[in-house]
Structure 1
Amino acid sequence: MAGRTGAQQLVDALMALGTEVVFGLPGVHNLPLWEALGQTGIRVIGVRHEQAAGYAADGYARRTGKLGVALVTTGPGAANTLGAVGEAMASAAPVLVVATEIPSTLHRPGVVRGVLHETSDQQAMFAPVTKAGFTVHRADQIGTTVHRAARLALQPQTGPVYLGIPTDYLREVTPPREPPAPPAERVLDLPDLARAAELLSTARRPLIWAGGGALRAEAGEAIGKLAERLAAPVLTTFGARGLLPLEHPCLAPNPVHTPEVGQLWDEADVVLAIGTDFDGLMTQNWLMPAPPKLIAVNVDAGDAAKNYRPDITLVGDARRVVESLHPQQRPGLAELTARLAGIGRRVRRRIRDEEPQAADFLSTLEEVLPPDAMLVTDMCVAGYWVGGFHRVRAPRRLAYPMGWGTLGYGFPASIGAGAAAEAVQGGRVVCVTGDGGFLYAVGELATLAEEQLPVTVVVVDDGGYGMLRYDQDSEGVPRRGVDWDSPDFVGLARSFGVHADRVSGFGRAFRRLLSESVESDEPNMLVVRAKLKPPLNTSPRWYRKQRD
């Protein structure tokens, strides 16, 4: 092949990796990339802020399981993505951030000379929030380094990777290199497999705790069969919502933060933890007692043991490990199913008694959303209700920013998820965001209108930061910084060319308007004026309390 510019080699590598969509913002240093992308079939979605590019790449990755790509420029452009990259890292979303750096001809090691957008060490800024970082040192390294970075991002545990390219390399012409050979598949070696099977076989009250790693490994079917064999309830973390079908006889209601469901954990004598690290948000900051016996399935033994110490650790891909487990069949499946149904009824009754508006909201979502719809939420009270209590129908139908907890995630991530609709042959994306989080990325209404993405944005307007307002009220301190006069969100959306409606509360009018919105072929927005009480899965309402 004749010589190719560095930009062309980067784009060639993305195409070889099967990239269909990239998200980014042009800058003076990365314009050659936009020129090269214009000669391909890759869809380029231009956003209005670099953080939105990172969130959109994350949303795309969570919906598809594929690599999400964000293209940004040097210095402040790269730095603007850090909040989004931190969320991707905490939630294990495979995102590749490609950022330009100052020209190699102007760079002096250890010296900041004052070149436009220069930083002392751009790659180092990303070190705390990425799996790894790469900076190319020759133009002919670009293509091979893209392959290395992408493979690392997609390798379990998945996560974001940074790639920095001096801007002058993008126009330099060099002969392309062959991409590196894919790594050999690791042989599954599980010396403790028989011991784990025996421990599960003799358990009186086994329980399965499935995390995001189980979902990303597509282990749902294997876990479902194992659960039925053991007559064991399956608790899913925020990252594993949708792992099992709603009708599965062993699927416990969500979330474990309710006393009714938490009792299942307290009673278990053996817990099989699959693809999880037992983070603070799921365990109420580890106030859940350590189980009498714990078997951990994880790609990383250190990750499996950092919060609760396992008695047995099975290192490997979740699906392959679970398929290799063959405990004896236990009786009691019908009794377990009946018990879980009763727990579900009690949880729903609790919601109806404590917060009727939330009950209406959740029931409307369940009844109105199409079967192939995806929900993307923000850090807001309505989003917490969805993350905790919405009955997710299938894997990758919920994106919830409770890895790092980044306010402003929901709307731009829904743009990425909406752009993935064709790739997954999926339906509409519904974004649930608060007024505060929506304002973080309100400029992306322009992107939504320009790209005509299948997204419905539900903005729950409570006139401020509702969760923080609740915190201040609970502590009995004056409200400060949490209340405001909301803008005209409907008029704002319409000014961008996005259809919008408004409604008060989550009653019949909300149900009718949401139904009309999700049936539309165009992007739209529904503004709901309402105040919700936070659910039990938010830390101020955790029922487990620290003992003095």
Structure 2
Amino acid sequence: MTARTVGEVLVDLLEANGVDIVFGIPGVHTVELYRGLAASKIRHITPRHEQGAGFMADGYARVSGKPGVALVITGPGLTNTITAMAQARQDSVPMLVISGVNRRCSLGHGHGLLHELPDQLGMMKSLALYAHTLLNPTDLPAVIERAFSVLLSGRPGPVHIEIPTDVMAAKIDPGPFRAATATRPRADAETLQRAAVLLADARHPVILLGGGAITAEDEIRLLAERIDTPVVTTVNARGMFAGHPLRVPASPSLKAVRRLLAEADRVLAIGTEMGPTDYDINVDGDFPDLRSLIRIDIDAAQLARDSRATLSILSSAKAAAAGISGFLEGHRAASDGAQRAETARKASWAELTDKMRTEIGIIDTIYRTLPTAIIVGDSTQAIYAGNYYCDPPRPRSWFNAATGYGALGYAPPAAVGAALAAPDATIVCLVGDGGFQFSLAEIGAAADAGARVVFLVWNNDGYQEIEAYMLEAGIVPEGVKPSAPDFLAIGAAYGLPAERLADVAGLPEALERAAALNRPSLIEIHQEKTAGATA
């Protein structure tokens, strides 16, 4: 092969690993990485801020199931991306961030070069699953292969590769190279059989599903039906078991779901961190002690953090569920699973406030009106309500940043990434007036990309959730009333059709009009000025 620059070979390696889109803002510290991009099949999307590049990569990854890729400059470009990387780390989203760094001879010397950090690699090692500085140009194929192996094989998260500016232009002959392969852990048959025996012996089992279970729906469904158990889906697993009588699409923070778990004589938790943003949203400490917990996780460190488990199984969700189910062939279960699930669904719904049920009704309206809708949410009241209870029509059709790291401004750029991953779907970005202002300019990126996103702005004139929290704590609210722009005028400035609803009853028609456009648009619901927005 003819020698080519590191930047050109990098593009080839990304293509070989299935990358079709990269999100980034070019700068003098990355231009050499762009040398081969225009001639490739990879599409480049330009956000308005590097944090947007990371969130776009996140949304793309959640919908496509493939790693999202961001390309950013050294220093501020990378530090701007860190928030998105932290969200990906908390929610186990595969993200590859490739950045520049100053020339090799300058590293660690503190000469005050443009965009210099004291120790960029050291900073990233504290956050990324794998971080590497490409000091030797010929190492590029091996480094990329390792990066994708990390992204595909264990618990997903962010990976970072930095390339010095003097390395980018170096010419190399990479020789033949191959795409990375996934090597996921599989539990031994003895461990899986032990789990099957424990489940077969249970009279009232329950399954808990997290985002790590999302690729194993068929295998888990067969297992759940064989042991006839209710299946509780956390936020990142919502849409699994859609329409199934065993589903419980409600938060384990609700008393009704906790009661179901407290009464269970076996709980099988698959691909869930069991963290407080799912299991103790209200920080009341009342999550029950589980009588017998079996945990399946792809991350040994995650299993080691939990001393409650009767049995811990290091395995991918797909392999473990299939293996356990195989040992239960012909098993005759207690046959009350659907009844217990229905009781939990009804009790969970009854537990919600009228305001929350109204907000969830709007979410249901979106799914009924737009059958292909994917709702990408920010930290806003309607999303909080949906995280307590919502019943999406399929997996990967509901996700948001109100769990885990909880970054405001996530939804607008993440919705752009989601739209590019699923161009035939309509993406509804459900965002508050406060959070929208964190990343308002990304509607320009949506317009440039022709992304099919409906920006549905839930306007309550500030940070109403925080204001309510302050009042409940006896604190005089301060800093919770940032003024909002005229969102319709902002939409028009970027060329987006925009409308404000006078009545929530008009939402279906507004959504249909927006979806028919095949480009981004904006709808505003004002909590006080739009009739039907509150109970």
TM-score tier, shorter chain, comes to over 0.9
CA distance change for structure 1 residues 191 and 521 in 2, over 3 Å: closer, same or farther?
same
CA distance change for structure 1 residues 356 and 390 in 2, over 3 Å: closer, same or farther?
closer
In structure 1, what is the Cα distance between the partners aligned to 2:513 and 2:378?
Answer: 22
Counterpart residue type for residue 259 of structure 1: K
Consecutive aligned runs of 4 or more in structure 1 exceeding 6 Å deviation = none
Corresponding residue of 2:533:
none
In structure 1, what is the Cα distance between the partners aligned to 2:360 and 2:63?
Answer: 26
**1:497 counterpart (495, 498, 501):** 495
In structure 1, what is the Cα distance between the partners aligned to 2:301 and 2:490?
Answer: 49
In structure 2, what is the Cα distance between the partners aligned to 1:26 and 1:195?
Answer: 54
Counterpart residue type for residue 315 of structure 1: L
Contact 1:434 1:461 in 2 (8 A): yes
Match of 2:441, SS state, is helix
Unaligned regions of 5+ residues in structure 2, if any? Answer: 530-535
Counterpart residue type for residue 289 of structure 1: P
User: Residue deviations 1:205-253, cap 9 Å, x none?
Assistant: 11111111111xx211111111111111111111111222x22121123
In structure 1, what is the Cα distance between the partners aligned to 2:54 and 2:482?
Answer: 28
In structure 2, what is the Cα distance between the partners aligned to 1:501 and 1:438?
Answer: 16
User: Residue deviations 1:335-383, cap 9 Å, x none?
Assistant: 432343344334444447354532431331232122x221100011122
In structure 2, what is the Cα distance between the partners aligned to 1:518 and 1:473?
Answer: 39
In structure 2, what is the Cα distance between the partners aligned to 1:527 and 1:120?
Answer: 44
Counterpart residue type for residue 47 of structure 1: P
Q: For 1:367-516, what aligned pairs fall within 5 Å after superposition?
A: 367-370=368-371, 372-401=372-401, 402-422=403-423, 426-504=424-502, 507-516=504-513
In structure 2, what is the Cα distance between the partners aligned to 1:228 and 1:531?
Answer: 45
In structure 2, what is the Cα distance between the partners aligned to 1:17 and 1:446?
Answer: 29
Match of 2:99, SS state, is strand
CA distance change for structure 1 residues 463 and 291 in 2, over 3 Å: closer, same or farther?
same
* Cα offset, 1:193, TM superposition: 2.3
Corresponding residue of 1:58:
58
Contact 1:377 1:386 in 2 (8 A): no
Corresponding residue of 2:121:
123
* Cα offset, 1:44, TM superposition: 0.3
Counterpart residue type for residue 262 of structure 1: R
CA distance change for structure 1 residues 142 and 293 in 2, over 3 Å: closer, same or farther?
same
User: Residue deviations 1:166-200, cap 9 Å, x none?
Assistant: 01222121211443674766564243222221111
CA distance change for structure 1 residues 399 and 184 in 2, over 3 Å: closer, same or farther?
closer
Q: For 1:327-366, what aligned pairs fall within 5 Å after superposition?
A: 327=328, 329-333=331-335, 335-351=336-352, 353-355=354-356, 357-366=358-367
CA distance change for structure 1 residues 354 and 48 in 2, over 3 Å: closer, same or farther?
closer
CA distance change for structure 1 residues 127 and 461 in 2, over 3 Å: closer, same or farther?
same
In structure 1, what is the Cα distance between the partners aligned to 2:383 and 2:439?
Answer: 17
In structure 2, what is the Cα distance between the partners aligned to 1:223 and 1:313?
Answer: 17
Unaligned regions of 5+ residues in structure 1, if any? Answer: 533-548
CA distance change for structure 1 residues 10 and 447 in 2, over 3 Å: closer, same or farther?
same
Quote the sequence identity (%). 33
CA distance change for structure 1 residues 356 and 206 in 2, over 3 Å: closer, same or farther?
closer
Corresponding residue of 1:161:
159
Contact 1:59 1:414 in 2 (8 A): yes
Contact 1:144 1:177 in 2 (8 A): no
Counterpart residue type for residue 96 of structure 1: L
Contact 2:24 2:50 in 1 (8 A): yes
Corresponding residue of 1:256:
252
CA distance change for structure 1 residues 185 and 343 in 2, over 3 Å: closer, same or farther?
closer
* Cα offset, 1:123, TM superposition: 1.6
Match of 2:39, SS state, is coil
Corresponding residue of 2:208:
209
Corresponding residue of 1:289:
288
Counterpart residue type for residue 229 of structure 1: R
CA distance change for structure 1 residues 349 and 294 in 2, over 3 Å: closer, same or farther?
closer
Contact 1:224 1:250 in 2 (8 A): no
Match of 1:161, SS state, is strand
Report the more deviating stretch, 155-164 or 476-485.
476-485
CA distance change for structure 1 residues 11 and 241 in 2, over 3 Å: closer, same or farther?
same
**TM-score (norm. length: structure 1):** 0.90
Contact 1:277 1:305 in 2 (8 A): no
User: Residue deviations 1:300-358, cap 9 Å, x none?
Assistant: 3331242452111222111111111123634443x432343344334444447354532
* Cα offset, 1:115, TM superposition: 0.9
Q: Does 1:524 align with 2:525?
A: no
CA distance change for structure 1 residues 360 and 394 in 2, over 3 Å: closer, same or farther?
closer
Match of 1:323, SS state, is helix
Counterpart residue type for residue 357 of structure 1: T
Match of 2:259, SS state, is helix
In structure 2, what is the Cα distance between the partners aligned to 1:40 and 1:93?
Answer: 26
Contact 1:205 1:267 in 2 (8 A): yes
Counterpart residue type for residue 79 of structure 2: A
CA distance change for structure 1 residues 472 and 185 in 2, over 3 Å: closer, same or farther?
closer
In structure 1, what is the Cα distance between the partners aligned to 2:288 and 2:352?
Answer: 25
Report the more deviating stretch, 523-532 or 24-33.
523-532
User: Residue deviations 1:27-79, cap 9 Å, x none?
Assistant: 11111222321111110001110000000001000001101000000111111
Contact 2:231 2:247 in 1 (8 A): yes
Corresponding residue of 2:190:
191
In structure 2, what is the Cα distance between the partners aligned to 1:276 and 1:38?
Answer: 40
| CA root-mean-square deviation | 2.0
User: Residue deviations 1:482-532, cap 9 Å, x none?
Assistant: 013321010011101111111246x21233312322333121011111169
How many residues end up aligned between the 2 structures? Answer: 521
User: Residue deviations 1:439-459, cap 9 Å, x none?
Assistant: 111111211111111111111
CA distance change for structure 1 residues 380 and 194 in 2, over 3 Å: closer, same or farther?
same
In structure 2, what is the Cα distance between the partners aligned to 1:185 and 1:348?
Answer: 38
In structure 1, what is the Cα distance between the partners aligned to 2:495 and 2:415?
Answer: 18
CA distance change for structure 1 residues 252 and 323 in 2, over 3 Å: closer, same or farther?
same
Corresponding residue of 1:232:
229
CA distance change for structure 1 residues 343 and 191 in 2, over 3 Å: closer, same or farther?
closer
Counterpart residue type for residue 422 of structure 2: A
